[in-house]
């Protein structure tokens, strides 16, 4: 009885403490709201120049939220539709065309297969001069999107410039659905492949439908491609994990300062493919829900994670409605994978004096155990079980991309070649490459190579140390040699330039699906995944934590390598 009284007393004290703390919080909120409201009123009434109350408030809100993290944001009524398309829904009313601005001019960059733009013979390379009679000169991307989008069934008029001729087209908008799963099917008739680009509405159902179709082909393995997937809805990630894990298994736990935001998510249904071997592809742009899926399958020893370390976003956001049809998206919790780790990379709670957030140091990371006891680490993203060096473009290739010179030549190629081989086998010939080089005549694709940057740094350091005169002749001679070598970059980097050019060209014929299929022949991560499926013993050794196959890329392993 005495113990019961002590427990009850403790509970009463705890409740009283929480109540007092809550009242203190409310007082501080009320006090500071009064101060802010008074300040806002005095500025708008008394400031020497005319002010815009809406802009002042927006700047104040953005500054306040910006001091927290990049994911906590205010969304005014004017931006609600764009917000929903980015974070919630995959549907909008439009024509299904992507655009690109070059030197202030708006061009059609790509058309979506089966949508109004393709049906009405809109072509990549067409310049859009006016939309519904409104000249697009000076318009930003959001303004152009508002002109192109509208309710399903409504018309939009485009004035196009194609090869020097003005063309007028009136197109009826349709409901455009951007699928979460951009591609699925079989590779080499043995391995299933699902590419998931985002975790918006129905992404779990889309992956399930793709998986069921693949299962009919009796694959020996599945590649789940989450590269460049920035995430989305947490619950959709849980549904996707559930496709491979039986019900009533913990997938992810979110924990917030507010106890109501702390939730444990478990699988709810029977798995569709509980025994199918899986390789999950990730890279540095795989974030949030992608990391929940990759981290859960890794922690549960259900799949092998392959690629590069993921982004490291371990935060959960929730939206709250505000007056006048606006809303705020607030970071309410951190999430934890089944082993108990949080993979958040940036420490927003302890910013530097300039306001920037630093990554958690590798020395502070903690080790956790997977279901069978493999070692995994928190912080700084999900480390892959098998690391593959990322594909990096050289400065010359990046310059050609950013200056849209691939885009221009692809349009020319399409005019000269009515058809091409199948997307999976498509490659341009040496003659095509020579023609591309000829198209670069008088074009600006100037760039600074890494060696040039280092040389400039060396020159600056020499000047700081008053040694510039001593090394001037050597630096100039070295620069001359670099410039001579730079002239050969178009040949030295021919292979990667061809790959980037082929991607642009093939999309003119087979759209996004063709672009994905064409890339398979060069994909290092997919090639490595195929090797794993062909070596079941190696896969099992990795998943069982065999000493030969530790988590590659782990912070401890890298530190040891550096010390050796």
Determine the Cα–Cα distance for residues 564 and 561; give it in Å rounded to an integer: 5
Predicted confidence (pLDDT) at residue 244 exceeds the cutoff of 70: yes
Beta strands 221-225; 191-196: pairing state? parallel
Q: Which of 20-29, 212-221, 307-316 is the least confident region?
A: 20-29
- Check: CB of residue 193 under 8 Å from CB of residue 185: yes
474: confidence class by pLDDT, cuts 50, 70, 90: confident
Helices (H), 440-523: 450-464, 468-486, 489-492, 494-519
Domain parsing of the chain, residue ranges: 38-67, 91-177, 181-387, 395-447+493-528, 450-486
Pick from 181, 227, 199, 184: which is nearest to 86 by CA? 199
User: Residue 7: what pLDDT?
Assistant: 41
User: Residue 8: what pLDDT?
Assistant: 45
User: Residue 24: what pLDDT?
Assistant: 63
The 10s digit of each residue's pLDDT in 191-203 is 999 999 999 999 9
Topology, domain 181-387: 2-enoyl-CoA Hydratase; Chain A, domain 1 (3.90.226)
Residues 6+ positions from 245 with CB-CB distance below 8 Å? 251, 267, 271, 274, 296, 297, 300, 302
Question: What integer best gives the mean pLDDT of the chain?
Answer: 88
The 10s digit of each residue's pLDDT in 258-293 is 999 999 999 999 999 999 999 999 999 999 999 999
Helix (H, G, I), strand (E, B) or coil at 270: coil
Determine the Cα–Cα distance for residues 409 and 125; give it in Å rounded to an integer: 10
Pick from 243, 198, 242, 236: which is nearest to 91 by CA? 198
Predicted confidence (pLDDT) at residue 526 exceeds the cutoff of 90: yes
User: Residue 78: what pLDDT?
Assistant: 83
The 10s digit of each residue's pLDDT in 336-384 is 999 999 999 999 988 888 888 989 887 888 999 999 999 999 999 999 9
Average pLDDT over residues 416-422: 92
User: Residue 473: what pLDDT?
Assistant: 78
User: Residue 483: what pLDDT?
Assistant: 62
User: Residue 485: what pLDDT?
Assistant: 65
The percent of residues above 90 in pLDDT, for the chain, comes to 70
The 10s digit of each residue's pLDDT in 128-144 is 999 999 999 888 888 89
User: Residue 11: what pLDDT?
Assistant: 46
User: Residue 484: what pLDDT?
Assistant: 64
Average pLDDT over residues 292-316: 97
The 10s digit of each residue's pLDDT in 91-137 is 788 999 999 999 889 999 999 999 999 999 999 999 999 999 999 98
131-134, long-range: CB < 8 A, 24+ apart: 131/156, 131/157, 131/158, 131/159, 132/156, 132/157, 133/157, 133/159
User: Residue 505: what pLDDT?
Assistant: 97
- Judged by phi (left if over 0) then psi (alpha if -120 to 50, else beta), residue 51 lies in beta
User: Residue 564: what pLDDT?
Assistant: 32
pTM of this structure? 0.86
Determine the Cα–Cα distance for residues 2 and 298; give it in Å rounded to an integer: 48
Average pLDDT over residues 14-25: 53
For domain 91-177, the question of CATH label 2.30.42.10 is answered with: yes
Determine the Cα–Cα distance for residues 108 and 259; give it in Å rounded to an integer: 49
């Amino acid at each position: 009885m005495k113990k019961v009284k002590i427990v009850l007393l403790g509970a009463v004290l705890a409740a009283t403490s929480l109540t007092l703390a809550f009242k203190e919080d409310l007082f501080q909120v009320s006090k500071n709201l009064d101060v802010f409201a008074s300040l806002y009123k005095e500025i708008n009434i008394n400031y020497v120049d005319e002010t815009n109350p809406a802009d002042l408030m927006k700047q104040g809100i953005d500054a306040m939220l910006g001091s927290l993290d990049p994911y906590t944001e205010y969304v005014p009524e004017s931006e609600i539709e764009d917000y929903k398309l980015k974070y919630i829904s995959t549907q909008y009313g439009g024509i299904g065309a992507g655009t690109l601005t070059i030197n202030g001019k708006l061009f059609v960059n790509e058309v979506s297969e089966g949508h109004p733009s393709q049906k009405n013979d809109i072509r990549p390379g067409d310049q859009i001069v006016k939309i519904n009679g409104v000249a697009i000169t000076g318009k930003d991307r959001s303004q152009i999107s508002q002109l192109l989008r509208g309710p399903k069934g409504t018309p939009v008029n485009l004035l196009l410039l194609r090869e020097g001729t003005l063309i007028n087209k009136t197109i009826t908008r349709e409901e455009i659905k951007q699928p979460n799963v951009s591609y699925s099917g079989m590779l080499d008739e043995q391995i299933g492949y699902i590419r998931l680009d985002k975790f918006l509405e129905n992404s779990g159902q889309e992956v399930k439908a793709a998986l069921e179709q693949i299962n009919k082909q009796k694959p020996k393995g599945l590649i789940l491609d989450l590269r460049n997937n920035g995430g989305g809805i947490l619950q959709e990630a849980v549904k996707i994990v559930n496709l491979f894990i039986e019900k009533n298994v913990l997938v992810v736990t979110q924990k917030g300062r507010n106890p109501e935001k702390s939730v444990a998510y478990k699988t709810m249904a029977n798995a569709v493919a509980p025994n199918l071997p899986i390789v999950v592809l990730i890279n540095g742009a795989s974030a949030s829900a992608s990391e929940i899926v990759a981290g859960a399958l890794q922690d549960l020893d259900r799949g092998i994670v392959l690629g590069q370390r993921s982004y490291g976003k371990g935060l959960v956001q929730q939206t709250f409605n505000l007056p006048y049809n606006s809303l705020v998206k607030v970071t309410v919790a951190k999430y934890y994978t089944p082993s108990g780790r949080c993979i958040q990379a940036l420490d927003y709670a302890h910013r530097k004096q300039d306001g920037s957030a630093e990554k958690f140091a590798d020395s502070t990371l903690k080790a956790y155990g997977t279901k069978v006891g493999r070692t995994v680490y928190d912080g700084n993203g999900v480390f892959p079980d098998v690391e593959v060096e990322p594909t990096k473009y050289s400065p010359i290739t990046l310059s050609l991309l950013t200056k849209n010179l691939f885009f221009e030549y692809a349009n020319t190629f399409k005019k000269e070649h009515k058809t091409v081989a199948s997307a999976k086998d498509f490659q341009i010939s040496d003659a095509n490459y020579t023609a591309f080089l000829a198209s670069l005549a008088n074009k600006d694709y100037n760039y600074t190579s890494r060696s040039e940057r280092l040389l400039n740094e060396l020159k600056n350091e020499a000047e700081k140390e008053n040694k510039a005169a001593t090394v001037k002749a050597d630096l100039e001679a070295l620069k001359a040699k670099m410039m001579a070598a730079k002239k050969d970059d178009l040949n030295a980097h021919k292979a990667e330039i061809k790959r980037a050019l082929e991607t642009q060209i093939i999309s003119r014929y087979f759209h996004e699906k063709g672009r994905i299929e064409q890339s398979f022949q060069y994909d290092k991560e997919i090639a490595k995944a195929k090797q794993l499926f062909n070596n079941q013993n190696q896969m099992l050794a990795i998943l069982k934590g065999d000493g030969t196959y530790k988590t590659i890329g782990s912070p401890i392993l890298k530190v040891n390598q550096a010390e050796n």
